[in-house]
Structure 1
């Protein structure tokens, strides 16, 4: 239990703000003393989920671009994501075999009917993804977890013999389970530990556009229960986390009902992975709450998100704060789903979703590509998207978009092992979340989407302080442990 010290009533804090007005994780030292009727009260005794981490993804596209930059700019970007002075990413993702953000289609097992995977090789990753991960590992003081996801099995294992769509043929279920085990071993030989796997990226498909492979919830559960789980267990890899589903939240209820139907079906699943593409603003809190209640001891991790279907705006901070972006659903969503895909503010989309996820039991949140070029690629399908860092490899230039700073508000100050804690917020126009970190500091993240400055009083026990947050801004407030003592 946390008890506020009585000797000093002023709450000592550190405040970092990113705003449409130009702040970029700026340390704010002066606060307005204007009277306010708004309060945010922190309640450390209310405890929720333990945080796994925050971060982004090692893709071939990002790694390929880093290889084209000067060593100085390559280091600058990796430091920005992984160093103590940077965003301190702690949870990451990468792809198994190729994905749309690869330069071409490829598989680690290209030889048809190689049932024992005698020709398995990760050679494709040795020049780009693996060096990227290794440099990040050297840069990160605390280390980070890696979740690996396949977009598809090699075509020869599928009923349509194609990279896109189709299903895994039952006769290859054991071979595909072996594929995961060999991948883990191959990366281990490179000095890289894989923390977790998702069984299949977007098992419901992606419109038959790029690498994909379809599973129903029942098929995926049977594959994990009877093939993947037992295979990893038999090979001494039972500590590798297996996350099911790995797609948008609107279908979450059916998937968790199936995966966690009983002890046998849920035995090898360590949790559920989700994406955000079903809406530019809706968090689907009921679905997230349901998933947690169905399996409260399991992970619930957001494994992919990005500003999709947009070409990045180069060195134009203002665009990332304006309501101009459109996603795939703006053009292609069924008419009844169009309201879920309005024009939106990119920074708002990230801030709103991460806070909303945290407040509904999500314990990890992973962005998609860490680095893309001015076109929003490279991407073999020309599926252009935005990343927090954009580069021009021809001119060796780097642009840190406002999205980089938005993500850092969470990854830098909310550390793995933190516990989300309660709060009371009297201003409904502000979004708030709070955690207690392993070092006993408290981090409070506040998002103000309004076009007016907001004043509020932050309270912890008997201590309090008046704070101002700029219009259209995100703040992380760090409350050092010196503000209270821990009752043993």
Structure 2
């Protein structure tokens, strides 16, 4: 029999809306009826216990994604942008883009290519005008609430570096002022286009990527010297509202070293608005202790996940089952050092995303940004052949679009956890489910649940003594919405 399970009496019933994505075929499906399940996980929400304020959730504007959109029909291009930014879609609220080229560009380029141009008189963002800028502007036109943008450089132009290469090397100290000016010129050029940049990271992955694509190395102390003596002062004078985020790499033990260096140096610390992190140190581990440490080190600063992707895998095309199966691997499956191999087993892509968002939000991360929004069937374009997966895969030759299960996974968070939401306390019986809960600025409470097991689970949800009981399918994600208190029955 199919029934809706509720509390014992009408007076004690909690009114909710429930949306589910599952291996069995639900895709943000609104549920009205449930099978009766005898055993239940009991979840109690505590809105009086509050944690971090949410900055936003979303994905990245890369040249690869923007270029692919321009290869599609207007109908499919618009369909994707509405799916990401429209009211009926994922409603992305926090995004990222790259300054100069990245591996997900069509080739190497810099806004300041002329050697010796220390005053950057020839600075130009012309390279972005065909693809990235139109994509951002069209997204802005679609988004009713708007979204924040974080910009990150992968490298300074080679002529400013000790090895004169796009990959690896370090910024020469004699160009610290020029490179700091570069950031200000970039912010002005984008403002002139009508695009406000909310924040910057000092350097994408300052520990490097084995010189496989654009990169530039800093030690924590070198980053501090650049920030406190050059970048921080110019941005505070010319762009005081733009956030400066340090580090911008993995959440493993290196995170502790970097936040210690950033925030123990009082002169540098005054310029940092937060720490940026990536997820590539493991396919499943949250690194909760490291995140807790980073928060305690600077409790009034941002802690933002700026990049995540299913990396080093060719995307599966129109095969939802692949994204729910334990078949994916990342770079670590083949290339991680022996002492870190255990951090990179095969994994379920949907679980990797949902686990990470729930786990990091529960450990003080206030923003979570995916990498490419759109890639092709190869996992590019990528000049370095560093193939990855995106929530939306396209075949531009056939003008076809595939919304993978990762798109719906992202939407469970970005659509219903809004900027300004505050994470609230919760308790649960057992450890079968992962969940996080927030209260949005409009008073709605959003609870996101993940069931990684094959079998359905019964849930009894309690808020201030009012309860509702329902079922979550096996291998499924749910978002449960509770209306503002004045609207609750």
Query: What is the deviation of 1:483?
Result: 6.4
Query: What is the deviation of 1:38?
Result: 2.2
**Can you give the 5+ residue segments of structure 2 that lack an aligned partner in the other structure?**
1-8
Q: Which residue of 1 aligns with 2:290?
A: 287
User: What secondary structure, in the 3-state scheme, does the structure 1 residue paired with 2:306 have?
Assistant: strand
CA distance in 1, matches of 2:414, 2:226: 34
Equivalent position to 1:243, from 239, 242, 245: 245
Equivalent position to 2:272, from 266, 269, 274: 269
Q: Which residue of 2 aligns with 1:432?
A: 435
Query: What is the deviation of 1:9?
Result: 1.2
User: What secondary structure, in the 3-state scheme, does the structure 2 residue paired with 1:303 have?
Assistant: strand
Equivalent position to 2:217, from 188, 211, 214: 214
Query: What is the deviation of 1:352?
Result: 0.5
Q: Which residue of 2 aligns with 1:403?
A: 406
Tell me if 1:452 matches 2:455.
Answer: yes
Q: Which residue of 2 aligns with 1:114?
A: 117
User: What's the Cα RMSD here?
Assistant: 1.1
Equivalent position to 1:186, from 183, 189, 201: 189
Q: Which residue of 1 aligns with 2:11?
A: 8
Query: What is the deviation of 1:262?
Result: 4.1
Equivalent position to 1:230, from 230, 233, 237: 233
Query: What is the deviation of 1:333?
Result: 0.4
Contact 2:40-2:457 within 8 A present in 1 as well = no
Equivalent position to 1:166, from 166, 169, 180: 169
Query: What is the deviation of 1:238?
Result: 1.2
Equivalent position to 2:446, from 443, 446, 455: 443
Contact 1:307-1:385 within 8 A present in 2 as well = yes
CA distance in 1, matches of 2:40, 2:316: 39
Query: What is the deviation of 1:37?
Result: 4.2
CA distance in 2, matches of 1:7, 1:80: 37
Query: What is the deviation of 1:462?
Result: 1.6
Q: How does 1:133-172 map to 2 (within 5 A)?
A: 133-172=136-175
Q: TM-score, normalised by structure 1?
A: 0.97
CA distance in 1, matches of 2:237, 2:391: 40
CA distance in 1, matches of 2:393, 2:411: 16
Q: Which residue of 1 aligns with 2:100?
A: 97
Q: TM-score, normalised by structure 2?
A: 0.97
Query: What is the deviation of 1:7?
Result: 8.0
Q: How many pairs does the alignment contain? A: 479
Q: Which residue of 2 aligns with 1:3?
A: none
Q: Which residue of 2 aligns with 1:330?
A: 333
CA distance in 2, matches of 1:31, 1:429: 19
Query: What is the deviation of 1:207?
Result: 1.1
Alignment deviations for residues 416-454 of structure 1 (CA, whole Å, 9 cap, x no partner): 000000001103010010000000000000000000100
CA distance in 2, matches of 1:392, 1:479: 39
**Can you give the 5+ residue segments of structure 1 that lack an aligned partner in the other structure?**
1-5
CA distance in 1, matches of 2:180, 2:329: 38
Contact 1:145-1:194 within 8 A present in 2 as well = yes
CA distance in 1, matches of 2:36, 2:468: 9
Query: What is the deviation of 1:249?
Result: 0.7
